Amino acid sequence: MQQYVVLQVVLKEEFLAGTKSKNLQELEDVINTQAAKGYRLHTISTTSGGSKGFGGGDRIQATMVFERIDNITNFRHPAPVQAAVPTYKTLANMTDEEIVEKEEWARRVTGAPSNL
């Protein structure tokens, strides 16, 4: 069984039919068919095309990538990354270089300037 399946569906928005087009049902059917086969929707992207004359409506191409579900359950997340916290010192016993280093660390971690 393949790990990924890529499908393309051409959807048509009919000028006269408007919201009565069956695009959502067609997308739902494709997704449910793949889910029944053990896949989940991983990614979807769309591109838009022009109309085919009066009453033809626009065409949208949906490209969907489905991922086999057992790939997901076997996936191990990496251990969370923790920022290195400098050892505690008071300003009184820090060198100027250590104070600058602490201010730079605080800016990196918080995204804000240090209050030191």
Whether 94 is covered by a domain: the verdict is no
Whether 89 is covered by a domain: the verdict is no
pLDDT attached to residue 5: 93
Compute the half-sphere exposure of residue 98: CA atoms within 13 Å on the CB side of its CA: 10
- d(Cα 79, Cα 23) in Å, to the nearest integer? 42
Number of domains into which the chain is organized: 1
- d(Cα 48, Cα 59) in Å, to the nearest integer? 6
Whether 79 is covered by a domain: the verdict is no
Name the amino acid, one letter, at 3.
Q
Whether 12 is covered by a domain: the verdict is yes
State the CB neighbour count (10 A cutoff) for residue 27: 16
pLDDT attached to residue 60: 83
User: pTM for the whole thing?
Assistant: 0.52
Q: What is the mean pLDDT of the chain?
A: 75
Domain encompassing residue 67: 4-74
Whether 55 is covered by a domain: the verdict is yes
Average pLDDT on 63-81 reads 71
pLDDT attached to residue 103: 80
Q: Looking at beta carbons, which pairs linking 14-17 to residues 24 or more positions away fall under 8 Å?
A: 14/55, 14/56, 14/57, 15/51, 15/54, 15/55, 15/56, 15/57, 16/55, 17/57
Tokens at 18, concatenated: 């408007």
Q: Maximum Cα–Cα distance for the chain, whole Å? A: 81
Task: Examine the pLDDT at 15 and tell me if it is beyond 60.
Answer: no
pLDDT attached to residue 18: 52
